[in-house]
Amino acid sequence: MTDTAHLEDLNERQRSAVTFGRPDTAAGLTSDPLLVIAGAGTGKTQTLSHRAAHLVLSGVDARRILLLTFSRRAAEEMTRRARGICDAALAARGRRGQAVSLPWAGTFHAIGARLLREYAPALGLSPNFSILDRADAADLIDVCRQHLGLALRTRRFPRKDTCLAIYSQVVNRRAKLAAVLETRFPWCVAHHDALKRLFAHYTERKQHLALLDYDDLLLHWALMMREPGLAAGLAARFDHVLVDEYQDTNLLQAEILRGLAPTGAGLCVVGDDAQAIYGFRAADVDNILGFADQYAGARVVRLERNYRSTQAILDAANTIMADAARRYDKQLASTRGAGLRPRHIIAHDGADEARHVIEQVLARRETGVALKQQAVLFRNAHHANEVEIELVRRDIPYRKYGGLKFLDAAHVKDLLALVRWAANPANQIAVFRALQIVPGVGPASAQRAFERLEADDWSLAKLGRQPAPRQADAEAWCALVDTVAALADGAGGWPATLEPAAEWLKAQLPDRYEAPTTARAGDIDDLVRIAARYRDRDRFLTELTLDPPAATGDHNDDAHLDDDYLVLSTVHSAKGREFDSVYLLHVADGTFPSEYAARSPADLEEERRLLYVAFTRARNVLEVVSPLRYHVTEQRRLGDRHVYGAISRFMTPAVRACFSARDAGTPVDAPVSAAAPASLRAALDVGAAARRLWD
């Protein structure tokens, strides 16, 4: 091919990746294995789309190109771009009307389902198998759980969603059940044998009913590739296999790719080891880090020219990754100039952090940056509790991605149900929910109890004298009635009367929700602290009822959103997106990195990559906030209500040197280090003096 107009908008390294290969008279273009390390904002989608288009324009049959992605939207976007590139190039050559498509473009799961239906007779599958979504799969596991009598064991057995999560980890990690339980679900180790029986029964039940779950789509495809005849036939159907987001593949997907391209010929994978953040979904970063070892003669192309962020932000991101234990060397370089240095903000506590972030958001809005172009990011959804409540108070619309909104979380709604019942004994919705917090109380028992309560003129005293429902925990039942009665009486004053209710609810968490429940207990304590901002119970309920987060934050109903809204998101959910301004919350040890990441070096490295992803979402402004104080849940009466936090271990001196530092509340345009004149700043090296004390 001599016409290269479709390559003109690519930089040199992108062009190298797109055109990699050798002309072949029969196949159009052949190539050795190719790994494209595409740093954040370097045009990954553009490169892979152009690669697909270039193959077609070089004479490769589009039906012999397999494009695998992780989302349907990504597959559609790449197909659309490749088609547009091909159409423009063919039109320039006078070959109009030859529309190009990529019939084998889709997600791993979608392509797997398509192939399994086609090969079903050879695999012993019914061609008319049905596919279970996650919710249906969890329900089927629950049916199997009940059938085996596991739910009736004297020792609390994991609930359906936890069972499905364990099953999924075993399948996708190609690991033994014992290893998965020990490393990721230690509280379930004692149930090893029972879980093994459950998963065997679940598998048999699916096969009997001609059902496949999401994990089966990959598992059965991988099993198919272990049969030499089937693997060879399927591999012969495709000359080129293109894979997006390769750093997010798991061991099953890597096995499938090895079956499709045993030598790596025609295999092109694109990804970024620095953005491998889905280990909790069984993604294995070793797939991309070990690609060159798996496929001899592999070519590695690094994309380092960043089109998104300013260089000041990229300097911080580059420095974060420089300390990674294993990585591909790359230095992101901006095409947009130096820009403003990112800021590291030291906040007094979570409330101070929330006020500061919202003030900065509003200040940026006044300069013409829409709320939609700003994002508040966090490691875990509950880290945004203070920000979310403050947004409601200030009537600022928002969308939250990743996790439920704080006031919509089930355990938070449980506590609100207790308060609403105390405020209005006839509130059927609140009473119905609150009664079912008691272990053994289901909808039918709750309905009968509510009817008794109504017949007794809403008297909690009479309800307390009634025997507990037959299957209910009698002690928890009596404690619930006493708790609501104390809330209704209000003798201890507000919000002191709420604390016993919160403690009772936290005691029910292990039976009501799957472990670990630390984060849920923290949410409950957060709500108690927030309640202290209101002068009484009625004002607390009124404020949250008349102007709840759902009024402006519910992203499931765009009709209730203003034209502009602030984005709240976990870092995981923000991957692949970009914003003018990013505010990153709770960058402190124990929250970022998560306290649970300390269990292994690999988990800590993933936390480092997660911070890198957060930094590289920002185009122009990046603020990292570290609160000094964190409220605790175990020292209500015997000690202080807070502990002091430590700045994240990832914010090393080298990383902090990329930031300007200041306290929350300092005006944005205040000079840094303005507290002392220059003549005094060099007068004494206190660090050296302190070190000499120990010489």
Instruction: Report the binding-site residues for ATP.
Output: 38-45
CA distances from 163 to 23, 117, 177, 362, 644 (A): 51, 27, 11, 44, 37
Contact 158, 199 (CB under 8 A): no
Amino acid (1-letter code) at residue 446 = A
Alpha helix stretches (DSSP H) within 372-491:
385-393, 410-423, 428-435, 443-455, 460-465, 474-489
CA distances from 280 to 25, 272, 602 (A): 45, 17, 12
The backbone torsions φ and ψ at residue 458, rounded to the nearest 5 degrees and listed phi first, read 65, 25
Beta bridge partners of residue 399, listed in sequence order: 567
Contact 622, 584 (CB under 8 A): yes
Please tell me whether residue 124 adopts helix, strand or coil conformation: coil
Q: Specify the DSSP element, H or E, that contains 686.
A: helix 686-692
Cis status, amide bond into 516, omega within 30 of 0: yes
Question: Token pair 């109380």 is at which residue?
Answer: 441
CA-wise closest residue to 386 among 525, 506, 509? 525
Q: CB-hemisphere CA count at 13 Å for 118? A: 11
Cα separation of 258 and 560, whole Å?
48
Please tell me whether residue 590 adopts helix, strand or coil conformation: strand
Number of other residues whose CB lies within 10 A of the CB of residue 160: 20
Cα separation of 293 and 258, whole Å?
13
Cα separation of 422 and 537, whole Å?
10
DSSP code at position 571: H
Please tell me whether residue 469 adopts helix, strand or coil conformation: coil
Q: CB-hemisphere CA count at 13 Å for 408? A: 16
Show the tokens assigned to 331: 């230095």
Please tell me whether residue 34 adopts helix, strand or coil conformation: strand
CA distances from 433 to 290, 413, 424, 519 (A): 51, 9, 14, 21
Contact 27, 239 (CB under 8 A): yes
Q: How far is it between the farthest Cα atoms of the chain?
A: 90
Alpha helix stretches (DSSP H) within 148-191:
160-173, 177-184
Cα separation of 660 and 676, whole Å?
16
The backbone torsions φ and ψ at residue 516, rounded to the nearest 5 degrees and listed phi first, read -80, 150
The backbone torsions φ and ψ at residue 340, rounded to the nearest 5 degrees and listed phi first, read -80, 145
For the chain, the helix, strand and coil percentages under 3-state DSSP, each to the nearest 5: 50, 15, 35
Cα separation of 487 and 499, whole Å?
10
Question: Token pair 């490691």 is at which residue?
Answer: 379
Contact 358, 397 (CB under 8 A): no
208's torsion region: left (phi>0), alpha (psi -120 to 50) or beta?
A: alpha
